[in-house]
Amino acid sequence: MKRRDFIKKAGISGLAAGAVAAPAIVKADTKLKWKMVTTWPKNFPVLGTGANLLAESITEMTDGRINVKVYGAGELVPAFEVFDAVSRGTAEMGHGAAYYWKGKIEEAQFFSTVPFGLNSQEMTAWLYHGGGMELWEETYAPFGVLPAAGGNTTVQMAGWFNREINSVEDLNGLKMRIPGLGGEVLKRAGGTPVNLPGGELFTSLKTGAIDATEWIGPYNDLAFGLYKAAKYYYYPGWHEPGTTLEAIINKKAFDGLSKDLQSIVRNACKMVNQEMSTEYTAKNNAALVTLVNDHKVDLRKLPDNAIAKLKVLSEDVVSELAGKNKAAKKIYASYDKFRKQVMAWHEISEKIYFNVRG
Amino acid sequence: MKRRDFIKKAGISGLAAGAVAAPAIVKADTKLKWKMVTTWPKNFPVLGTGANLLAESITEMTDGRINVKVYGAGELVPAFEVFDAVSRGTAEMGHGAAYYWKGKIEEAQFFSTVPFGLNSQEMTAWLYHGGGMELWEETYAPFGVLPAAGGNTTVQMAGWFNREINSVEDLNGLKMRIPGLGGEVLKRAGGTPVNLPGGELFTSLKTGAIDATEWIGPYNDLAFGLYKAAKYYYYPGWHEPGTTLEAIINKKAFDGLSKDLQSIVRNACKMVNQEMSTEYTAKNNAALVTLVNDHKVDLRKLPDNAIAKLKVLSEDVVSELAGKNKAAKKIYASYDKFRKQVMAWHEISEKIYFNVRG
């Protein structure tokens, strides 16, 4: 279904759209004050500062006709209530990640990341040029929320471990902070996934309350000082190979904008998607040098048989998610078709290039 | 040097900047008509349509305060005069690639692509978060031109061959259309590089005037019908691993804009950089299926010893370019430092992920 048709239909059938009668289109001289609630601590490196950049860019490009103010997690609403706040119009925008809403919309997880799934380049290609965005809009339409890709972590690290992983058996009984689909996969490999907020990782790891934790990648992990609490730093981040962050917009607020302002909001999200992902690319590589040279971090690759086992288990977990409901099945069909095709192309382009470059 | 300082200095010392006295700032109600000249045939898939998208987005986001009209190659000025046209203000914007100006600015090649150099993600990261953009602005400042990354081809294909390449010796005497640094590398491997415009590739290959040609990747190559003129389709595109396309802006015209319009122009370029690169990602993979399944194209990997030889020769060619002048040396130092660091990071993230995913 084309976006235009979709928006038209959503206008008729959407739950929240019922509230929209004839939206007053904002004139060029109107000044709007918008709130952006986020799932990140205020000014958190890349995640929070990227949300700030999105807000500032909209304010700047509109010359203050939309003035966007950013709220960190808990400032206006708690992190995990960002989606609801945007849905009911408490805030006009939000910044977070789609897998945080899995309790409400299980299939939303496909729009953030999937174990052994698409990397950052592939996710953005699927969303904007492979049909993914239309499905994402359809998924959020009943809540009166418009989604956009608003950043990407790129391939993450597997995490910080105080137990050596020399074979798949070593995952057995491993108590690890790893949320979402990755956590479910670890559970099936015999581990014990736990969920903890970022602020508790260091102490939990240091005191032995957990054996391991994943977080993001060198840049954010260095800032948390995790190297002081764990012996080994494992790669690669099989569980989050290119997590798409999301910018969400209250549909009623968006519909009330003139076309130029709508275009600015949409393009600002695309701009920040690239900015955040390439900021990670640049900053992770510099942070890795610091971790290895200054902090003598012991970098390890997960053993092949552990990765092979996790891959098989991931396929089960993702297939089961796809079977949960009709919408999940439809999204998975699109995602999986794109994944197979892009893997064949990257086999002879991006992947082989990395391998021949050395 | 910070961008702000740089712009200030360029305003004093730049050749073209002498013409700018006190630019009249464009008010919110002024309507400007801007021309965008391009090096691409009008509406050429991705390259030309991407330039169209950039123009349309600026027009839409500014609500017509800047109305940008796109001219294909030869419509207003020939392809290779795009840079000069923007420099002298015949057009306010241009879209092309930096290596086209090597006759005028040899070191500009670092801002498009380098054999065995950065891929698309890494190029954008170097430019916007690794110091590359400041150097690019410095390079174009004497011409009164502001650069921006305005698209990326992602990893290209090595090309279409009517001669089997089974070892490095088979490159000897190979007559191949391959421009720029890649052509120089082929020459040192014993081949004969020739330069031909895209429109002549099919016939030259078909008649045997050339033994091989590189072009872009499956999507553009399929449209040119090159599979009907060559026996083998080789990979990977060692010579163009992530060619950054460029959007250039006449500095005087840019300086005359109000801050909101400046922000729109700059952010539109970033948006289109992501759009074009991910459009290639999505369309190349679908075109590859057509080439292989419908047209039975014989896909081949360049032999390892040929790649190894090309890599050694590429290092020579790139080092020599870096030694041409002081500016080239400074740019190469930044590029090469970023390349080494990002390669170490991608070794344990993007690259290893591709390899473990299968």
Chain position carrying tokens 């003035």: A67
The minimal CB distance from A57 to the residues B121, B154, B267 is found for: B267
**Closest Cα partner for B212 from B170, B252, B243?**
B170
CATH fold match for the domains A32-153+242-281 and A159-240+284-326: yes
Q: Which residues in chain B have their CB less than 8 angstroms from residue A258's CB?
A: 63
User: Are the beta carbons of B349 and A120 separated by less than 8 Å?
Assistant: no
| Per-domain residue ranges of chain A | 32-153+242-281, 159-240+284-326
Q: Which residues in chain A have their CB less than 8 angstroms from residue B357's CB?
A: 116, 241, 311, 343
The minimal CB distance from B349 to the residues A236, A282, A357 is found for: A236
Q: Rounded to two decimals, what is the model's pTM?
A: 0.92
Question: pLDDT, tens digit, for every residue of B178-235?
Answer: 988 999 999 999 999 998 878 899 999 999 999 999 999 999 999 999 999 999 999 9
- Name every residue whose Cβ is closer than 8 Å to that of residue B238 and which is 6 or more positions away in sequence: A353, A356, B115, B116, B158, B182, B302, B307, B310, B311, B314
Q: Which residues in chain B have their CB less than 8 angstroms from residue A25's CB?
A: none
- Structure confidence at residue B30 (pLDDT): 77
The minimal CB distance from B344 to the residues A281, A288, A304 is found for: A288
- Structure confidence at residue A16 (pLDDT): 37
- Structure confidence at residue B358 (pLDDT): 86
pLDDT at B9 over 80: no
Which residue, among B54, B118, B121, would best test binding to A if mutated, counting the most A CBs under 10 Å from its CB? B121
Per-residue CA distances from A7 to A3, A10, A134, B83, B244 (Å): 6, 5, 10, 41, 34
pLDDT at B17 over 70: no
- Gap between the Cα atoms of B219 and A260, Å rounded: 32
Question: pLDDT, tens digit, for every residue of B63-91?
Answer: 999 999 999 999 999 999 999 999 999 99
How many Cβ atoms sit within 10 Å of the Cβ of residue A22? 7
pLDDT at B264 over 70: yes
User: Are the beta carbons of A301 and B348 separated by less than 8 Å?
Assistant: yes
- Structure confidence at residue B27 (pLDDT): 58
Which residue, among B214, B273, B274, B340, would best test binding to A if mutated, counting the most A CBs under 10 Å from its CB? B274
- Structure confidence at residue A347 (pLDDT): 97
Per-residue CA distances from A57 to A131, B62, B70, B238, B341 (Å): 27, 14, 26, 37, 30
Query: What residue in B sits closest to A291 (Cα-Cα)?
Result: B345
CA distance A328 to chain B (A): 22
- Structure confidence at residue A26 (pLDDT): 57
The b-or-e profile of B290-299 (16+ CB within 10 A means b, else e) is ebbeeeebee
The minimal CB distance from B279 to the residues A129, A311, A351 is found for: A129
Average pLDDT taken over every residue of chain B: 92
- Gap between the Cα atoms of A158 and A300, Å rounded: 10
- Gap between the Cα atoms of B234 and B184, Å rounded: 19
pLDDT band at B15 (very low <50, low <70, confident <90, very high): very low
The minimal CB distance from B128 to the residues A155, A275, A286 is found for: A275
- Gap between the Cα atoms of B355 and B135, Å rounded: 34
User: Are the beta carbons of B288 and A356 separated by less than 8 Å?
Assistant: no
CATH topology for B159-240+284-326?
Answer: D-Maltodextrin-Binding Protein; domain 2 (3.40.190)
Question: pLDDT, tens digit, for every residue of B129-154?
Answer: 999 999 999 999 999 999 999 999 99
Q: A92: which DSSP letter?
A: S
Tokens representing B260 are 């909101």
User: Are the beta carbons of A122 and B353 separated by less than 8 Å?
Assistant: no
Q: B148: which DSSP letter?
A: E
Chain position carrying tokens 């419509």: B75
- Structure confidence at residue B29 (pLDDT): 63
CA distance A24 to chain B (A): 18
User: Are the beta carbons of A264 and B61 separated by less than 8 Å?
Assistant: yes
- Indicate the SS3 state at residue B95: strand
User: Are the beta carbons of A157 and B349 separated by less than 8 Å?
Assistant: yes
Question: pLDDT, tens digit, for every residue of B287-332?
Answer: 999 999 999 999 999 999 999 999 999 999 999 999 999 999 999 9
% chain A with pLDDT above 70: 92
Average pLDDT taken over every residue of chain A: 92
ipTM reported for the complex, 2 dp: 0.92
Side-chain half-sphere CA neighbours of A69 within 13 A: 9
User: Are the beta carbons of B271 and A275 separated by less than 8 Å?
Assistant: no
CB pairs under 8 A between A and B: 224
**Four-way CATH pick for A32-153+242-281: 3.40.640.10, 3.90.76.10, 3.30.2290.10, 3.40.190.170:** 3.40.190.170
The minimal CB distance from A345 to the residues B274, B284, B307 is found for: B284
What's the average model confidence in pLDDT over A342-351?
98
